[in-house]
Chain A
Amino acid sequence: MSVLELNGRVFDASTTGTLTLTSEGGATTTDVTQGLDKSWVNWNCTGTAAVRDSFNHSSLTDNGTGDFTLTVSSAMTNGDYCRSGMAGHAANSQQVVSQAEANTVATATQGRYVIAYANHNLEDSAYAGVVLHGDLA
């Protein structure tokens, strides 16, 4: 198990609470816990969809061409977290990952994402990745 020791305080997988460090410029402290990404997943959409690697992610649902649902294990505090992602196929085949909030509202554990070209055509790309930032429940 990895252990981080700062000023005599030991941080390991059982540590709870927040970790604050002196911020950039040294004027104040910054909450490291807030800045951590809380979940990420990298998956292949071509052929049979498959997760390459992930953290805090329980399942990938293939809803159709360029349309996927990601579900986490450790829930976020509500659906108001930040979602970011990218996808790509080849140098001339780049897509964006977006979440149609008006159609499918994200919950504390689940979000539905589409992968599309700039002309809105959905596409199954060889690489797709999504990262979540925000507060955990």
Chain B
Amino acid sequence: MIQTPEFQGTHLWNRLSWAKENLEMYRSEYCVVYEDSMDECAKVLHPDPNWMACALQGGILPPVSSYWELKKDEAKPDFVKHTRGPELLHNMKPIGPMTEEEAIEYLIMKDVPESVWREWDTGNQPKMVICKKDQLPPTREWRNAWKINPELKIAA
């Protein structure tokens, strides 16, 4: 396995450039199905294969909390542009290698609405499910009617 250079202080975009050149894409067989609106069908998040390679490699991505801080900054009424990119993304110590399961959990906390992943199991039925792609409906004929099965039991 190729050694990740010491990337703390290197712009995240440049780290991704290194990864693109040096790492093989990793296509996860898992996806995340979630519902964040009663008026919309279930959504399906697919991890990017190049991003997965970075997550599994380690030493490239910032902690997920960096993205939470960026979102907080962006939600402020006087927000114009990000000024804490260097502090949060580029100078923060990168996190180490993750397992596939940890990478998907990270991605959920980064890219899925917080209202979903914070309270995914507090209602009458789960709002979010991690499943294998072959568990999705085989065709997209009724794509806009997809919903999480209300009979689904939450694993302990």
**A→B interface (CB under 8 Å):** 1-2, 13-16, 38, 41, 46-51, 53-65, 69, 71, 73-75, 77-79, 107-110, 124, 135-137
**B→A interface (CB under 8 Å):** 5, 10-18, 20-22, 25, 27, 31, 40-41, 43-51, 54, 61, 67, 70-71, 74, 79-82, 84-85, 89, 107, 110-111, 133, 136, 139-140, 143-144, 146
Partner of A55 from the list B16, B79, B110 (CB cut-off 8 Å) is: B16
- The answer to whether A58 and B46 touch (CB under 8 A), given A64-B144, A73-B51, A74-B12, is no
Instruction: Check B43 against A75 for contact (C-beta < 8 Å).
Output: no
- The answer to whether A54 and B50 touch (CB under 8 A), given A13-B14, A73-B61, A78-B79, is yes
**CA gap between A75 and B72 in the complex, in Å:** 14
Instruction: Check B45 against A59 for contact (C-beta < 8 Å).
Output: yes
Question: A60 to chain B: which residues have CB within 8 Å?
Answer: 45-46, 48
In the assembled complex, the CB of A35 is this many whole angstroms from the nearest CB of chain B, namely 14
Partner of A124 from the list B47, B74, B111, B140 (CB cut-off 8 Å) is: B140
